[in-house]
């Protein structure tokens, strides 16, 4: 594999470029965080600027990520929680679900577990290639995903969010802090998912446009922080309401009884 050399940057302050970020209404933690602060940070960025001594996902071996859920101690993004931590539990014949005691846990079905494991293998393969040819690039496992503010970017975010079959927002944001970033044509990752061709992942990390398509699906991985372009009471209040509703729904489950 060719080795892609890039440098890590630590940038603070507002940047002029505007990006798009997809936010699902069901992701109540993110809705709440953006609602109260108008900003959102990746877990890796939070870890890097905190006093915590937890290990970075970037520094944990692929073997550990695949098989040892104990290697993740804190500061994990959604993708890492499900496609690394939860997948490692499943590989050890454990169970995963959602719910907080004393409420019932909503255990994942067999089909959902298979989907987690399949996506986990794809993400770990992608991370292994990144470490080989673009070690300084932002990782998919600990990044915010952004798209360019144009017609193609908006169509791409809409395509990704609609696949989740949930209500969503497309937010206009700016980067306020950056540890690392990477620009990639998402067509390569989708092609790898369909064919298993590892060359697709190499091209993804080389930032090459896929020649099989007229227009690249550029996605920007960011280990850093973003802020809303429109800091308005109405938008943020709406996001806070979604956050509160999500918290209430998470708690409004039947309580566990001794018979259960």
- Cα–Cα distance measured from residue 96 to residue 86, given in angstroms and rounded to the nearest whole number: 6
Nearest alpha carbon to residue 85 among 46, 54, 50: 54
Q: What are phi and psi of 166, to 5 degrees?
A: -135, 160
pLDDT at 185: 98
Which pLDDT band holds residue 148 (cuts at 50, 70, 90)? Answer: very high
Q: How far is CA 222 from the centre of its chain?
A: 10
| Cα–Cα distance list, 117 to 67, 90, 91, 108 (Å) | 12, 8, 8, 12
Which pLDDT band holds residue 9 (cuts at 50, 70, 90)? Answer: very low
Return the bridge partners of 184, or none. 219
Residue with structure tokens 């990639």? Answer: 184
The predicted model scores a pTM of 0.86
Half-sphere CA count of 204, side-chain side, radius 13 A:
29
Angle at 27 between CA 162 and CA 67, to 5 degrees: 95
Q: What are phi and psi of 81, to 5 degrees?
A: -60, -45
- Cα–Cα distance measured from residue 130 to residue 132, given in angstroms and rounded to the nearest whole number: 5
Strongest mean pLDDT among 16-25, 143-152, 164-173, 238-247: 143-152
pLDDT at 14: 45
Return the structure tokens found at 196.
Answer: 């298993």
Q: Is 176 helix (H, G, I), strand (E, B) or coil?
A: strand
Please give the average per-residue pLDDT across 212-233, as a whole number.
Answer: 91
pLDDT at 78: 82
- Cα–Cα distance measured from residue 114 to residue 39, given in angstroms and rounded to the nearest whole number: 34
Strongest mean pLDDT among 37-41, 115-119, 166-170: 115-119
pLDDT in tens, 104-127: 788 999 999 999 999 999 999 999
């Amino acid at each position: 594999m060719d080795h892609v050399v890039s440098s890590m940057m630590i940038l603070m302050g507002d940047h002029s470029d505007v990006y798009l970020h997809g936010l699902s209404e069901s992701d109540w933690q993110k809705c709440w965080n953006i609602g109260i602060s108008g900003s959102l940070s990746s877990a890796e960025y939070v870890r890097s600027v905190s006093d915590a001594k937890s290990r970075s996902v970037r520094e944990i071996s692929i073997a550990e990520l695949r098989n040892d859920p104990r290697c993740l101690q804190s500061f994990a993004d959604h993708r890492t929680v499900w496609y690394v931590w939860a997948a490692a539990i499943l590989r050890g014949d454990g169970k995963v679900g959602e719910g907080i005691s004393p409420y019932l846990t909503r255990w994942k079905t067999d089909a959902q577990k298979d989907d987690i494991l399949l996506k986990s293998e794809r993400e770990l393969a992608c991370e292994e290639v990144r470490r080989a040819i673009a070690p300084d690039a932002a990782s998919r496992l600990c990044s915010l995903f952004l798209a360019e503010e144009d017609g193609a970017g908006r169509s791409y975010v809409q395509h990704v969010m609609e696949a989740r079959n949930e209500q969503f927002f497309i937010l206009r944001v700016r980067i306020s802090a950056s540890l690392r970033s990477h620009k990639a044509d998402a067509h390569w990752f989708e092609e790898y998912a369909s064919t298993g061709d590892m060359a697709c992942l190499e091209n993804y990390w080389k930032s090459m446009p896929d020649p099989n398509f007229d227009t690249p699906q550029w996605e920007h991985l960011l280990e850093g922080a973003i802020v809303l372009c429109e800091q308005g009471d109405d938008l943020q209040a709406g996001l806070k309401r979604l956050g509160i509703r999500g918290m209430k729904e998470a708690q409004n489950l039947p309580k566990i009884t001794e018979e259960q």
